[in-house]
A and B are shown apart, each in its own frame.
Chain A
Amino acid sequence: MKILIKGGNVIDPANNISEKLDILTDGKVIEAVGKDISSPDAKVINAERLTVIPGIVDIHVHFRDPGYEYKEDIISGSRAAARGGVTSVACMPNTKPALDCEALIQYVKNKAEKAGIINVFPVGCISKGLKGEELAEIGELKAAGAVGVSDDGRPVISSILMRRALEYANMFDIPVMSHSEDLGLVDGGSMNEGYMSTYLGLRGIPKAAESVAVTRDILIAEEVGAKIHICHVSTANSIDAVRQAKKRGVRVTCETAPHYFSLTDAACDGFNTNAKMNPPLRSAEDVEAVIAGLADGTIDAIATDHAPHHIDEKNVEFDKALNGIIGLETSLSLGITKLVNTGKLTLCELIKKMTYNPAKIIGTDRGTLSVGAPADITIFDAAEEYVVDVSKFASKSKNSPYGGMKLCGVVKKTIANGKIVYDGGGKE
């Protein structure tokens, strides 16, 4: 079915477009972008006063499938994505079994295609079984459709294994997506080290546990000339390490998550396990540094690290609670509320970090509204306020620290591959 989106404020960073335009899709790809397009046989969506962007590309999610389907599965995760305006995700391989072979990559792709909601790009393991011992069959993973490799959830402890992974993955031109963490420095900590960890009597995780490992991984990538993507940066020094490396011409990209620019470790007060994640929420200075890194281009992409957990895994003692929060259904509005409405980024810059840039990192042609590109389109009201109600989330899990928070920016429609996959109502 053809869809004609009329009169929206179209933002397409890849093509430097930010104006009131119409978009016509032929049911699969974008057929035309321009003024006063008419198409008698198309379903018309009136996007007056709404913003129209490429479907959001979130390159860091956990869909927990196979193995932990009680937390999330590929279908529920896809619905959560669609509700958040996300049309493409890269899902991390720390499932059970871990995505370390061709058959498992195909399982994820097949299930996602059969569901037909959004595009799910699997990330394969760096090491067999995420054990950090031997390389997984990265060539075969790539051939099966993996868009990157990562042992996300745990770091590659061995520096020589990291070096080999970078050299080896580089042959296939897929990024090593590094969860950079020095577990020795973590030393059993469960939140950021600082005043709040002292106040709560919780073991602190020093910031250097992240920045030391980020620095190591960048230096190894630099030496072998390979592409590296640093996942979820959260500290000022990690960001600075990336900034300096980019100046030296290292092929490094990085992402941060909405919680690192919207919350500090103060959110852990009262032993709030929905503020427990890894890396942990940091200090106010780090939040400032994340925002500065987004503004000056050091941080390429915003990805949610959507990490669903069952309530029984969160409603426990803080140090026993599992790490992570869900994020797919709040990322756009957090970006608008905390970055755009505060004047830190323009809406166009935010959208670029949520569409075009992350698409480039995983090497897909999505994240643009170019004619001929797959019709992945998100329509939202950038001015509408709402109060986050976790019970309305499409995700199977509800572990979000944003419940009850007033945010700005409401997704009205999500179109993936030319099909409306989320319809939040509104004007037609």
Chain B
Amino acid sequence: MKHLLGLKDVSADEIKNILDTAEIMKKRLDEDIKKFDELKGKSVITVFFENSTRTRLSFELASKYLGANAANITSTGSSVAKGETLIDTVKTINMMAADILVVRHSSSGAPKLVSENVDCSVVNAGDGMNEHPTQALLDMLTIREKKGTISGLKVAIIGDVKHSRVARSNIYGLKKMGAEVVLAGPATLLPSQLEELGVRVYTDVEKAIDGADVVMGLRIQLERQRAGNFPTVREYSKLFGVNEERLRLAKPDAILLHPGPVNRGVSLRAK
């Protein structure tokens, strides 16, 4: 596997392989001296055209822990602000002997375009409303840790599905790993013909959560949506928020995941 552009192109075996590796790697975080050499001598460049806390830092730290030379550029402090095209920017980085580019971009498909124009590997760290494969891999790792398996579980994904790349990657990944995926959100935030991805879709959150093993809340992607998809945050929270009462409809041992950032009190409300 040269690139990781999305889970729609990755097989169940490959996902399992990644999760198995991640399980081993995760233990490294408990080591006293976090300096290893799996990526020794490699250059990992995070190229982020959108804001990020978790994703960028986790890539940067993981690269460093594994001995790589890590560097990062963002759209505001780079030639992108001077009008350079995406392709020219990444070709330039590629020429500096980069081995892996980790790309986040607001346009769906941008990492694929990058991969077609460089000879190094490309990892998608989130593109538009398309995919966020590493977030979904992390979610699957968490589910496997807590539940022992993914196959046969009912996973309910709740909220702004339309604008969510996390939802899409989770749908592709979880389906491949044998989970049942159900989705719920307001009709204005459910994309067209979603059922054709092999999922069940509800506008009633409670129906989706009923009997779920895993409940995943999604943030309202305010930066990606135009105004007016729902009347008020208050009504949204009331009808579609994941709260304690609704969680009681899930299995007693159900777990709750949220990719973050959490808009507290809106998509999730603590007890």
Question: Which residues in A have some Cβ–Cβ distance to B below 8 Å?
Answer: 187-188, 193-195, 197-204, 270-271, 312, 315-320
Contact = CB atoms under 8 A, between A and B. Distances in A.
Nearest to B131: A201
A312 B84 CA distance: 12
B226 A271 contact: no
Contact of A199 (B107, B127, B165, B197): B197
Which of A200, A201, A203 neighbours the largest number of chain B CB atoms within 10 Å of its CB?
Answer: A201
A197 B226 contact: no
B191 A319 contact: no
Nearest to B194: A198
Given A188-B226, A317-B113, A319-B128, A200 B108 contact: yes
Contact of A200 (B130, B194, B196, B226): B130
SS class, residues of chain A in contact with chain B = loop
A317 B226 contact: no
Contacts of A203: 129
A318 B109 contact: yes
Contacts of B130: 200-202
B149 interface: no
B197 A198 contact: yes
B86 A195 contact: no
B87 A201 contact: no
Contacts, number: 63
A203 B226 CA distance: 11
Contacts of A271: 108-109, 112-113
B104 interface: no
A200 B165 CA distance: 10
A317 B110 CA distance: 5
B232 interface: no
12 contacts: A193-B192, A194-B192, A198-B193, A202-B109, A202-B128, A204-B192, A270-B112, A271-B112, A315-B113, A317-B108, A318-B107, A319-B107
A239 B112 CA distance: 36
Interface string B63-88: 00000000000000000000001110
Contacts of A188: 226
Which of B110, B165, B191, B226 neighbours the largest number of chain A CB atoms within 10 Å of its CB?
Answer: B191
A252 B129 CA distance: 40
A389 B231 CA distance: 52
B105 interface: yes
B87 to A, nearest CB: 7
A240 to B, nearest CB: 21
Contacts of A315: 87, 113
Contact of B87 (A197, A199, A202, A316): A316
A201 B113 contact: no
A99 B222 CA distance: 40
A286 to B, nearest CB: 14
Contacts of B87: 315-316
A317 B105 contact: yes
B113 A187 contact: no
A204 B194 CA distance: 13
A9 B112 CA distance: 49
Contacts of A197: 191-192
A199 B129 CA distance: 10
B192 A198 contact: yes
B168 interface: yes
Given A315-B87, A317-B105, A198 B128 contact: no
B129 A201 contact: yes
Given A271-B108, A315-B87, A316-B87, A201 B192 contact: no
B193 A319 contact: no
A354 B76 CA distance: 51
A189 to B, nearest CB: 11
A134 B85 CA distance: 36
Contacts of A202: 108-109, 128-130
Contacts of B108: 200-202, 271, 317-319
Nearest to A318: B109
Contacts of B127: 201
A200 B193 CA distance: 12
A195 B192 contact: yes
Nearest to A196: B193
B152 to A, nearest CB: 25
Interface string B179-200: 0000000000001111011000
B107 A204 contact: no
